[in-house]
Amino acid sequence: MSPDPHLLSPLRIAGVTLPNRMVMGAMHTRLETLDRPLQRLAAFYATRAAGEIALILTGGYSPVPEGVMDEGGLVLDSADQLDEHRQITSAVREAGGRIVLQILHAGRYAKLADCVAPSPGKARINVHAPRALSTAEVWATIESFAHTASLAEQAGYAGVEIMGSEGYLINEFTAALTNRRNDEFGGDFERRIRFPLEIVRAVRARVGRDFMLIYRISSIDLMEGGMTGPEVAAFARRIEQAGADMINTGVGWHESAVPTIAASVPRAAWLAAVRNVKQAVSIPVMASNRINTPDVAERIIASGAADLVSMARPLLADPEFAKKVRLGRSDEINLCIACNQACLDHIFTERTASCLVNPRAGREIEFDDRPAAGSKRIAVVGGGPAGMAFALESARRGHRVTLFEAQDELGGQLIIARKVPGKSEFEGMLRYFDRALRLAKVDVRLGTTADASELADGGFDEIVLATGVLPRIPALEGVDHPKVVGYQDVLSGRVTVGDSVAILGAGGIGFDVAEFL
């Protein structure tokens, strides 16, 4: 019997039967900003569909140009775009998957000089101040959501998700903090929730009953002046009555000071907020945020707290997450370590998303994973992250690989990184590579320094150097004093420091050392 029977059980929603309870949550990739954007997006989503994830939610598409995240952002507002989207939906279907389009209006988070909101008031994370939508513009925006949903249905999507959380436009309407209107869309609770209810009703009226309508609710705003728990429950009931087939639960606004998905946040930390929604409705509810292992996902569904789990970053890390669960190979999953370095950090600095533990993420059309034309003998010198990743990928493509590591264990900088408070998830990355390298039959030689003569006499066709970097020593007077030590000495435990310590450098490593001490 599978250790994850609830996670692998099917579920029927609207006219769609999902083969399991695992969903790829929506995330921004910015792949549309590169060359061959449609080919890239199609390959990105099709790769996850082939990994047997039950349902894929796209990154957000705005229903109107003024609702994009930033200049050049994703919009779906014209039938002229249907053929482009059919390339994506066809690729996902051919890979055996189902994909839903998320409709997102960024509201006052839009990095546009003419951004809009329910009321004036600049967000902490945006330099631009919004203007308030007129009542007529609010009604026009409701219509735009319905129009985009209809286009999504014509393009072959299995449904739409209305983005009503994380502090974007709809969420701004529901919170007293950002909604100070005095028309029918502001004031008391009933009028604040009218905007999303009208959107759900309009979308439901425009699309077929077999077309999934998912609403992403803010289960907890984590903002002073946000909705209360009882208000969230009451709102969820109204969303169901308006015609939603499923509710996805978001957590916190992007400008909230409370961490929601960092590694320091415990796994499944927000289940109480999810249960509050689940207990209020009869339609399926999806849990999200800090769910990155099958056992955590299984416990959530088995407990009745939610019917499905949404995982975005874990599907960046390992597109075959769901397939490995089904095959009983959960110990082979390349776990998301919640570092946020190549996904969220990239997006918020206007770069494309990838993944620290899976560099192929977002580069599916560049990083071809087909078997090599011929097998070579390859020596890889250095068993840190880069060396392990190169050795594994080479072996999987059919090469015979020998990996040399001078230390007695693999990992390089990861060995000390896992000792930093809040970074224990790095341990999972080490476990993954240890098992994956053994399964790929890589010849791992620990405690071995590869010198030139040994490499020359080893009969290798290629030699790859992955020896990492040395810490930069700043040109400061007194840097050679015995009391001055490097971060590696401190984190590794080779040096014990006193009670009064000055740390030079306020970058990521400097903060890590401060946390450690």
Residue 489 pLDDT level (bands cut at 50, 70, 90) = confident
* pLDDT given at position 420: 87
| Strand positions, DSSP E, 190-307 | 212-220, 246-251, 285-287
Say whether pLDDT at 1 is over 80.
no
Q: What is the mean pLDDT of residues 232-244?
A: 99
pLDDT at residue number 344: 87
84 plus 186 within the same structural domain: yes
Count of C-beta atoms within a 10 Å radius of residue 455: 16
The answer, yes or no, to whether residue 367 has pLDDT greater than 90, is: no
Say which residues have a Cβ less than 8 Å from residue 397's Cβ, sequence separation at least 6. 369, 370, 371, 372
Structurally, how many domains does the chain consist of? 3
109-168 confidence digits (pLDDT tens) = 999 999 999 999 999 999 999 999 999 999 999 999 999 999 999 999 999 999 999 999
414-417 contacts, C-beta under 8 A, 24 or more apart: 414/384, 414/385, 415/492, 416/488, 416/491, 416/492, 417/491, 417/512
Rounded Cα–Cα distance for residues 25 and 13 (Å): 17
pLDDT value of position 67: 97
**In which band, very low, low, confident or very high, does the pLDDT at 381 lie, cut at 50, 70 and 90?**
very high
Domain range for 396? 377-465
Residue 78's Cβ-count burial label (10 Å; 0-12, 13-18, 19+) is exposed
The dihedral region occupied by 487, where left means phi > 0, alpha psi between -120 and 50, and beta the remainder, is: alpha
Let me know if residue 261 belongs to a domain: yes
Is 459 in the same domain as 506? Answer: no
* Residue 337 lies inside a defined structural domain of this protein: no
Q: Give dist(CA 338, CA 352) in Å, integer.
A: 17
Each residue's pLDDT tens digit, 58-106: 999 999 999 999 998 999 999 999 999 999 999 999 999 999 999 999 9
- On whether both 433 and 505 belong to a single domain, the answer is no
pLDDT value at residue 50: 98
| pLDDT level of residue 480 (50, 70, 90 thresholds) | confident
34 beta partners: none
Residues 398 and 510 in one domain: no
User: Same structural domain for residues 451 and 480?
Assistant: no
Whether residues 409 and 491 fall in one domain: no
> Which of 246, 274, 306 is at the close of a domain?
306
Please tell me whether residues 432 and 516 are part of one structural domain: no
DSSP type of residue 58: E
Answer yes or no: do 141 and 74 share one domain.
yes
Question: What's the confidence (pLDDT) of residue 264?
Answer: 86
Task: CATH number of the domain at 383, please.
Answer: 3.40.50.720
CATH of the domain at 286: 3.20.20.70
Last residue of a domain, one of 247, 271, 306: 306
How many helices (H) and strands (E) the chain has is answered by 18, 16
Whether residues 173 and 241 share a domain: the answer is: yes
Q: Quick check: helix, strand or coil at residue 473?
A: coil
- Residue at 25 is within a domain: no
Sorting pLDDT into bands at 50, 70 and 90, what band is 516? confident
pLDDT greater than 90 at residue 504: no
CB 167, CB 224: distance < 8 Å: no
pLDDT of residue 80: 98
Query: Which tens digits make up the pLDDT trace of 410-443?
Result: 999 898 888 888 888 889 999 999 999 999 999 9
The predicted structure's pLDDT at residue 103: 99
Cα 277 from Cα 274, distance rounded (Å)? 5
Active site residues: 168
Hey, CA dihedral for 389, 391, 394, 395, is it positive or negative? negative
Query: pLDDT averaged over the chain?
Result: 95
In the prediction, which pLDDT does 25 show? 98
My answer on whether 487 and 455 are in the same domain is no
| pLDDT tens string 180-236 | 999 999 999 999 999 999 999 999 999 999 999 999 999 999 999 999 999 999 999
